[in-house]
A and B are shown apart, each in its own frame.
Chain A
Amino acid sequence: MNLGTRKILDRSFTALGIGSIVVMALALLIVITPIIYNGLGAVFFKGTIEHRKLLYNEFHRGDGAELEREIAEVAVYRDQAYRMLADFELELEGMDPEKAREYRMQYGPVKTALQTLLGPPPGDDSAILTRFRYGQTRWEKAEEKLHALLYESKWDYSDPDVMAKEYFVRRAESFEGTKLAPMFGFVEKNAEKMLLPRFTLYWGFLTDSSIDAHIFGGIWPEIQGTFFLAIGAMLFAFPLGVVAAIYFTEYAKDGVFTSMLRSANSTLAGVPSIVFGLFGLAFFINTLNVSESKSVLAGALTLAIMILPTIIRAAEEAILAVPKTYKEASLGLGSTKWNTIVTVILPAALPGIITGGVISLGRAAGETAPIIFTAAVSVGSAIGIADVLSSPTPALSWNIYNLASEHEAAAEIRHVQYGMVLALVSIVLLLNLSAVLLRARISKKLKG
């Protein structure tokens, strides 16, 4: 091969490498951007007066006097809208019964739509579920609901041989000539004055408990549960893993038994996580009875088994990477084997061991399948540290799935779901970042 071809090959390989990195970065960008954008939407958004009311009533936060003033301010407009409803109801009484019934059929959804937008009318305190006690707390949702109030979605079923098309009818048209007709224009014009949207920074999303099954409030119980599970798993898996790695590298004699152990460890690393979940349920909960029901303890143990192989492998690699001369020098100076391991080998291997550990911690925080049957619940309050032995907990990974598919109002609370995703991604990222920093610090110290 002449020099020219070699150069070309060399360059094209460099280009290929850079190209693949760029593709990866782009893919990451495409995945991460919507997560960050929508996730931040759970904390930064245009909050309406309903949001401030909710915070004040449920969490006792905010300026009461200011809220009173705002409530009085919006009441001017709201009362007018509600008066139009009341007038129309009176008008219905006096109408021809046939016609009145027709109007009533259409009036029901209008009333519901208005209440969805603004909350129950003043004085009506009968709703029990928090979701019906407040109007729209977020302005972008309020705009959606305003549209639903102004326009009725209809489907053209006239031709049974084709799939129907959706079309919108102005509700105002159906009430032409009645006292209700002006209400639509009035609400459309004054929606902002009725809801007072204002840029809101809702840090409580991270520190509040959820209210009414995640429809309002924050995700603190989930964040806390994720930490409990991940750290709990680490408490079991890390010491065990390091001890096992020391055994493999320093004590085990090469033989059939050791190689069997090693391959068992590698196989364990490849087992799908749902299998660990079912194993955890069958073994820890049903057989060992570590707790009465699902619990953080059972979940942490299950996760610990799942991350154990990774920790063992990482620790093993780290120990093997310690130069042989260290060990020989120590032994040559008359140190015992155990002393050598503790004072020479482990400190030198520590950066590698810790990196493996923290990356496993990140994995434990993000896994869903192992905790479905052993620890996670869709609704539960934040538990105290004293309850980890017996109580199950909500956790980010599982609740993201729950909100995405099982929740009865999944489409209404996408922002909560995105917020959870962003929180989980950030936690894992932070853990990995701290691993990098920790490693750098320890390496520096060792060299120092």
Chain B
Amino acid sequence: MLALAALMLMGTEVSAAGNGIVIDGSTTVGPIAKSFAAYFTKRYGVPVTVSESGSGNGAKSLINGACDIAAMSRDMKTQEIAAARKKGIQPVAHVAALDGIAIVVHPSNPVRGLTKAQIAGIYQGRYTNWREVGGPNSRIVVIQRESNSGTQESFKTLVTGKAVPIMPRAESQASNGAVKSRVSTTPSAIGFIGMGFLDSSVRAVPVDGVKPSVASIRSGTYKLSRKLYFYTSGQPTGSIKQFLALPSTADGRRIISELGFISQ
């Protein structure tokens, strides 16, 4: 026990700045937040911590004053803004980057492309077999995100609309990474993830004939795109302001594009 304690004290460098930046929220914005955090800490010596608990939790954290920056992959909802105002917090949005929601299938799935209506149909339970949308005879395994997810909210807004809900049979996964690994191991699955999470283990299907890419998202021809935000309580000052300026600096833009997102 003593040896353990000694080891701990040895490795513990007492950091001078107790006043770090605390970021909570979206798993989609996670890679950006984490890389910015590392960059910022290295450059300015301000410790930054990042938790990825989902956009909804990020908003709640900001409203409760438990974080400095809420990373969100959707706009703040009116109820959330109302709740924040009640607590005397004025949420201010700062765009971190642009992101496309990629509709992903297993690489073995031969389906050439899907229309927005077909995707909505799959998620609302109207199509249950890949044959109905131009694929092989195989039951569709539908993967969605949990209700706390900003990507889920954006997907609903952009694709299925609020009128008909996503079928409850759709399987929920807790993060972009989890959706990706589920789809990459299930030949008949369909899911949606942020662009930054795309790799060769899944295939992004063209939507309405357009493949998600930097060019198609920036020009707006790929329809399933949204902004990623950093929300703060009131106009930021000091190191938080400095942090939020990162997305528009040259290095910040470079980081965003290296991560597979699109800088504004």
A residues contacting B by CB (< 8 A) are 126-130, 132, 153, 155, 157, 159-166, 207, 211-213, 220, 224, 227, 285-286, 292-294, 372-373, 376-387, 390-392, 402, 405-408, 410-411, 434
A285 touches B66 (CB 8 A): yes
Can you add 14 more A-B contacts, CB < 8 Å, to A157-B112, A161-B131, A164-B108? A128-B255, A132-B258, A155-B107, A163-B136, A163-B188, A207-B11, A293-B66, A372-B53, A376-B51, A379-B38, A391-B20, A405-B177, A406-B176, A411-B201
| Contact pick for A410, options B34, B68, B136, B181, CB 8 Å | B181
Contacts of A285 in B (CB 8 A): 64, 66
Task: In the complex, identify which listed stretch (B41-49, B155-163, B214-222) lies at the interface while the others stay far away.
Answer: B41-49
Report the bound CA distance from A82 to B174 in whole Å: 42
With A385-B12, A407-B177 in contact, do A402 and B52 touch (Cβ < 8 Å)? Answer: yes
| A128, A162, A376, A391 interface centre (most CB from chain B within 10 Å) | A128
| Contact pick for B66, options A166, A286, A379, A386, CB 8 Å | A286
B47 touches A408 (CB 8 A): no
Q: How large is the interface on B (under 10, 10 to 19, 20 to 34, 35 or more residues)?
A: 35 or more
With A207-B11, A293-B67, A390-B18 in contact, do A406 and B30 touch (Cβ < 8 Å)? Answer: yes
Smallest beta-carbon distance B190→chain A, Å: 13
B51 touches A294 (CB 8 A): yes
Report the bound CA distance from A243 to B68 in whole Å: 39
Report the bound CA distance from A160 to B112 in whole Å: 9
| Contact pick for B22, options A128, A163, A294, CB 8 Å | A294
Smallest beta-carbon distance A406→chain B, Å: 4
**In the complex, residue of chain A having the shortest beta-carbon distance to the beta carbon of B187:** A163
Contacts of A213 in B (CB 8 A): 31, 34-35, 38
B258 touches A127 (CB 8 A): yes
B110 touches A405 (CB 8 A): no
* Interface presence of B6 (CB below 8 A): no
A405 touches B178 (CB 8 A): yes
B51 touches A392 (CB 8 A): yes
With A384-B15, A387-B15 in contact, do A408 and B31 touch (Cβ < 8 Å)? Answer: yes
A380 touches B175 (CB 8 A): no
B15 touches A286 (CB 8 A): no
Contacts of B176 in A (CB 8 A): 406, 408
Contacts of A378 in B (CB 8 A): 30, 34, 50-52
* Interface presence of B211 (CB below 8 A): no
Main secondary structure of the interface of A (DSSP, over half): loop
**In the complex, residue of chain B having the shortest beta-carbon distance to the beta carbon of A383:** B15
A163 touches B109 (CB 8 A): yes
Contact residues, B33-88 vs A (CB, 8 A) = 33-35, 37-39, 41, 47-53, 57, 61, 64-68
Report the bound CA distance from A161 to B4 in whole Å: 61
A386 touches B136 (CB 8 A): no
CB-CB nearest 5 A-B residue pairs: A384-B14, A380-B49, A406-B175, A157-B110, A377-B49
A387 touches B18 (CB 8 A): yes
Report the bound CA distance from A373 to B177 in whole Å: 20
Report the bound CA distance from A391 to B49 in whole Å: 9
Report the bound CA distance from A405 to B109 in whole Å: 23
Smallest beta-carbon distance A391→chain B, Å: 6
* Interface presence of B135 (CB below 8 A): yes
Smallest beta-carbon distance B151→chain A, Å: 12
With A408-B30, A408-B31 in contact, do A166 and B108 touch (Cβ < 8 Å)? Answer: yes
B136 touches A160 (CB 8 A): yes
Contacts of B38 in A (CB 8 A): 130, 211-213, 379
Contacts of A227 in B (CB 8 A): 4, 8
**In the complex, residue of chain B having the shortest beta-carbon distance to the beta carbon of A211:** B38
* Interface presence of B166 (CB below 8 A): no
With A166-B107, A212-B38, A293-B66 in contact, do A391 and B134 touch (Cβ < 8 Å)? Answer: no
**In the complex, residue of chain B having the shortest beta-carbon distance to the beta carbon of A376:** B51
Report the bound CA distance from A159 to B111 in whole Å: 10
**In the complex, residue of chain B having the shortest beta-carbon distance to the beta carbon of A427:** B4
Smallest beta-carbon distance B101→chain A, Å: 15
Contacts A/B (CB < 8 Å), 6 sampled: A129-B35, A160-B112, A207-B11, A294-B24, A377-B22, A380-B49
With A383-B15, A385-B14, A406-B30 in contact, do A391 and B47 touch (Cβ < 8 Å)? Answer: yes
* Interface presence of B27 (CB below 8 A): yes
**In the complex, residue of chain B having the shortest beta-carbon distance to the beta carbon of A438:** B1
Smallest beta-carbon distance B72→chain A, Å: 16
Report the bound CA distance from A410 to B196 in whole Å: 13
* Interface presence of B237 (CB below 8 A): no
Contact residues, B139-163 vs A (CB, 8 A) = none
Report the bound CA distance from A391 to B18 in whole Å: 7
Smallest beta-carbon distance B197→chain A, Å: 5
* Interface presence of B138 (CB below 8 A): yes
With A163-B136, A387-B15 in contact, do A129 and B49 touch (Cβ < 8 Å)? Answer: no
Report the bound CA distance from A408 to B180 in whole Å: 9
Contacts of B15 in A (CB 8 A): 381, 383-384, 386-387
Report the bound CA distance from A130 to B34 in whole Å: 12
Smallest beta-carbon distance B68→chain A, Å: 8
**In the complex, residue of chain B having the shortest beta-carbon distance to the beta carbon of A156:** B110
| Contact pick for A379, options B12, B49, B174, CB 8 Å | B49
B52 touches A406 (CB 8 A): yes
Smallest beta-carbon distance B80→chain A, Å: 16
Smallest beta-carbon distance A54→chain B, Å: 14
With A406-B177, A408-B176 in contact, do A382 and B13 touch (Cβ < 8 Å)? Answer: yes
Report the bound CA distance from A94 to B145 in whole Å: 50
* Interface presence of B223 (CB below 8 A): no
| B51, B177, B187 interface centre (most CB from chain A within 10 Å) | B51
Contacts of A161 in B (CB 8 A): 131, 136-137
B22 touches A392 (CB 8 A): yes
Report the bound CA distance from A285 to B37 in whole Å: 23
Report the bound CA distance from A135 to B181 in whole Å: 24
With A207-B11, A379-B38, A385-B12 in contact, do A160 and B134 touch (Cβ < 8 Å)? Answer: yes
* Interface presence of B164 (CB below 8 A): no
B110 touches A159 (CB 8 A): yes
